[in-house]
Structure 1
Amino acid sequence: MSVHEPLRAAVIGAGYWGPNLARNFRSSPDWDLVAVCDLDVDRARKVVGPRSTVDVMTSTAELLARDDVDAVAIATPARTHAPLALAALDAGKHVLVEKPVADRSGAARQMVALAAERDLVLMVDHTFCYTPPVLKMRELIAEGALGDIHFVDSVRINLGIVQPDVDVFWDLAPHDLSILDFILPGGLVPSSVGAQGADPLGAGQTCVGYLTLPLPDGAIAHVHVNWLSPTKIRQMVVGGSRRTLVWDDLSPQQRLTVYDRGVDLGQPLPDRTTANVSYRLGDAWAPALPEREALGAMVAELAASIREGRAPRTDGNAGLRVLDVLETAARSLGDGGRLTPLGATTTRPEPELETVV
C-alpha cells in the first residue's frame, strides 16, 4: 500500500464508545472505515447509517479473516479486550484498544509481547493524552518550563454512576493515571502505591478513593476520585521547581494556567536549625490552545505510527504501566491502605482468557 493511500479500519463494538471511534475513522483522511462489528446487528447498522457502504458484521472471526482490514479498534467490555486483541494481532492486524488495555496485567503483557513479535502496532485509547491541554502540558514539562517536578495533585469527582463490576479507582483513575504517564518524564513509575477508599453507601464497591504515588527524586502524586460529590471537578495541579501549572478541564475559556509562583529554599540560616525560605510571586499566564477533537488526533497518530514503523505515543506499554498501578492499588486497598511496592506479586492464578467470536 502506498503511504498516500488511506489505511483501512474496522471497529469492534458499537455501544457507548465505538460510534465515536467510527465517526473519527470515517472523517480522517488517513483512514477508510470498512466495517463495524457488533453482536447486535441493529446497533451496528445505526452506527454506520442507512446509506453507508460500510459493512455491518456480527462475527469477529469473519472480520479478522478479511484481507482488506489493516487495523481494528476494540471498544468492548474490558474482560474481552485481551482475547479480541490477541486474535487480531494473530491475524496480522494492528490494534487500537480502549482503556483499560486489559482487565489484568498478565493478559496485557501477552498483548504487548505478541505485538512486538509480529511487528504490529498496539495502541491504547488514552483519549485525554490527545487533547490540546494535555499535549501542551507534556510540551511544557519536556522543555523544562516547570523545572523539576515536585508534586502532582489530581481531582476527578462528580455525582457519578456506581458501577456494578468495577470500583471508582478502575472507573475514573485510569484517566488521571494515563495523563500522568504521558506528561511525566520517563512515564508513570512510582516506587509504590497507597490506596485508601470507602463505601459509605454499602454498594459493594469503593465509591470514594485516594491514591498516593511516590515518584522518583522525592516527588509525589495524589489522585482523588469520587462518585458521590454533588459538584463536578476535573483539575490537575503540577508543581515544579520553577513554575506550577494548573489544568481545569471545566473552564473552557482558560483550561491551562502557568504560575511563576512558588517556594525557594536557600542556604540554612546561621543557627543551622531553620531553612532560609523565600516566596516567589511572579506572573500567571495562559497558553493559547488549538481547538480540535482528541479522537481525530488519536487516529492520525495511529496511522502515523503504522506508516513510520514506530510505537505510538500511547502504546501497549503505557497501558500496562497504568494497569500495574491499578492492580497495586487494589492490593494496597486490601492491605489497609499501606504503601505497596509497584507490581508486588500475588499468588492468585491468572484466569484463562475468555474466547470471543
Structure 2
Amino acid sequence: MQKVAVVGVNHIGRIHCKVYDQNPDCQLVAVCDLDQAVADRVAAEFQVKAYTDVAIMFQQEDVNLISVATAGEENGSHHYQPVMEALHAGKHVFVEKPISNNIHEAKEMVALAEEKNVYLACDLNHRFVPAAYTAKDWIKRGEIGDILFVNMKLMIRNQKESSPWLQLRALHPHSLDVMRYFAGDVKRVQAFMLKAPGRDIWSTASIHVEFRSGAIGHLTGSYDMSMRHPIEQCEVGGTKGRFVLDNIYEHLHLYPHEKDEATVVRNSIMNGVSGFEETFKRRIDCFIQEMTDGIAPSDIEASGADALAVQLVIEAAIRSHQEGGKVIDVSYDASYR
C-alpha cells in the first residue's frame, strides 16, 4: 500500500488526488498547498489532512510517495524544492511535467533519485493509452520495419504571455516524449520559431530532429491553434509500413506498404479512454502498478531520466533558434541514465 501526499492541489493536483483516492493500492493521506484555502478545500473533499509546509507534513504524516503538481514559471519552476525535499527524505516522487524548467535542477533531481534508489516518475501521460500501446506493439513485431521518420504535431490555444519559451518548456515534453517512445533518443535538432501577430512569446515552432538510430523527424508545435479540432497527431514511417495516431487516443491507422487494406483501431466505446482527464489516471495507475510489481526505479516508464531527456532536447531546440537555426547536438551526460 502506497501512502500518498499530493503537493500543489489547485487544479492538476486535485486530479492526482482523485486518482490516488480511487486506486486500491494507494491511501491518500494528506495534501499540501501554499494557499491555505485551497489546501483546506481539497483536504475536505478527500477527507485527509491539509498542510501548507512540506517539511511539517513529512514530520507529522507517514507517507512514502509524494505527488508534486505545483506550477510556477513555465509550469515547472516550483517543482524543484518539494521534489528535492521528498527525495532527501527517502520518499518516492511523481512529478508533473516539465520535471523542471531549469535543466540544472532537473539533472539534480534525477541524480538524487538515483543516489537514494527511489522512484522518480513524471506525468508524461500522452502515451499511456491503448492506441499508443498498440502502435508500440506494431513496432516491436516488425509491422513498421526499420523506422525512417517520425512526424509529430501538438497544437493548442494558450494565450499566456510569460516566458518567451513557455510553449517549448511547458507543452513539448509531451510531444517529444511520444517521439522518443516510438523512435528512441534524439541526437540533434534544428529549430525555427515565430511570434504570432500580437504575441510576445515564441508561440509556434518547427523543429527538425535526427534520432540516434539515424531516423529523422519533425515536430510542429503551437500555442496559436483552436482546440475545437484535433490537437495532436503522430505519424511513424518505416521500411514496411507506417501508422498515424490521431488526437492522442482517438484513432490509429496502420498502412502496410505491400497491402491494399489498412488496419483501423478506434477508441473503444466500452473500455476505451473516456476523455483526456482519464489519461492522468492511466498514467498514475501504471506507475503504482510498477511500484507494486517491484520494477527497478531505472526501468519504469516515463521516469525522471526520460523527463530529463526531453528537456535536454527542448534546451537544444531553444539554443538552435537563438543561433539562427544552427544544428545543435543534444548533450547527454552522466546525469542522464
- Taking structure 1 as the reference length, the TM-score comes to 0.82
Cα offsets for 1:43-63 (capped at 9, x unmatched)? 22332445x431111111112
Cα separation, partners in 2 of 1:114 and 1:161, compared to 1, 3 Å: same
Task: Return the structure number with greater helix share.
Answer: 2
- Unmatched 5+ stretches in structure 1: 1-5, 262-279, 346-357
Could you say which residue in structure 2 is the equivalent of 1:248? 246
State percent identity of aligned pairs.
27
For residues 1-357 of structure 1, the aligned pairs below 5 Å read 6-50=1-45, 52-77=46-71, 78-165=76-163, 166-184=165-183, 187=184, 189-230=185-226, 232-249=230-247, 252=250, 255-261=251-257, 280=258, 282-287=260-265, 290-292=271-273, 293-307=278-292, 308-311=294-297, 312-343=300-331
Tell whether the 8 Å contact from 1:35 to 1:56 is kept in structure 2 after alignment: yes
How many Å separate the matches in 1 of 2:249 and 2:330?
34
Q: Secondary structure at 2:324's aligned position in 1?
A: coil
Q: Can you list the C-alpha shifts for 1:5-51, whole angstroms capped at 9, x where unaligned?
A: x211010001221011110000001101011111112222332445x
Task: Using the TM superposition, give the Cα deviation of residue 288 of structure 1 relative to its aligned residue in structure 2, in angstroms.
Answer: 6.0
Q: Which amino acid aligns with 1:304?
A: Q
Q: Within 1, Cα distance between the matches of 2:160 and 2:104?
A: 27
Instruction: State the Cα distance separating 1:155 from its structure 2 match.
Output: 1.3
User: What count of residue pairs does the alignment treat as equivalent?
Assistant: 316
* Structure of larger gyration radius: 1
Cα offset for 1:300? Answer: 2.6
Shift of 1:250: 7.1
2:66, 2:210 → 1: CA distance?
36
Q: CA 1:315–1:66 in 2, change beyond 3 Å: closer, same or farther?
A: farther
Taking a change above 3 Å as real, the CA distance of residues 294 and 157 of structure 1, as seen in their structure-2 partners, is: closer
Superposition TM-score, scaled by structure 2 size? 0.87
The answer to whether the 8 Å contact 1:193/1:214 transfers is yes
CA distance in 2 between counterparts of 1:30 and 1:310 reads: 18
* Secondary structure of the structure 1 residue equivalent to 2:272: coil
Give the equivalent residue in structure 2 for 1:271.
none
Instruction: Output the CA distance in 2 between the equivalents of 1:298 and 1:250.
Output: 13
Distance 2:91 2:212 in 1: 37
Deviations 1:113-139 (A, max 9, x none): 111111110111111121222222222
8 Å CA contact retained: 1:28, 1:300? yes
**Aligned Cα root-mean-square deviation (Å):** 2.1
